[in-house]
Amino acid sequence: MSIGAATQALAAYRTAAGEITGGAAGQAASAGFDNLLKAELQQTLAVLQHSEATSIAGVTGTASIQEVVEAVTAAELSLQKVTAVRDRMINAYQEIMRMPI
């Protein structure tokens, strides 16, 4: 993990922690979670776009193999994170639907 990636991870953690602790009551907490998900999805999209651009640059010879591998690995990790969150949300929804009324 590079220093830049570690710095980004730390900044994301601080942002998430701030939004979670900032929205203590009902509506504010749900709006905070909504904003957190939206920000994470936008960040994932940016990582995927950067990876695609770096891959194209690698094919044209303007980016090194190391840059391409780092970008593709970052995109893969971001996609795995989004997929894991999606799966957890689906599981939570299914659990709610199984609850007796």
d(CA 71, CA 34): 27
Q: Count the Cβ atoms, other than its own, within 10 Å of residue 56.
A: 12
Domain of 65 in residue numbering reads as 3-98
Model confidence pLDDT, tens digit, residues 55-87: 999 999 999 999 999 999 999 999 999 999 999
Structure tokens at 79: 């996609």
Residue from 81, 100, 83 nearest 91 by CA: 83
Model confidence pLDDT, tens digit, residues 5-34: 656 665 666 676 665 555 444 454 556 878
Tally of domains within the chain: 1
**Model pTM?**
0.62
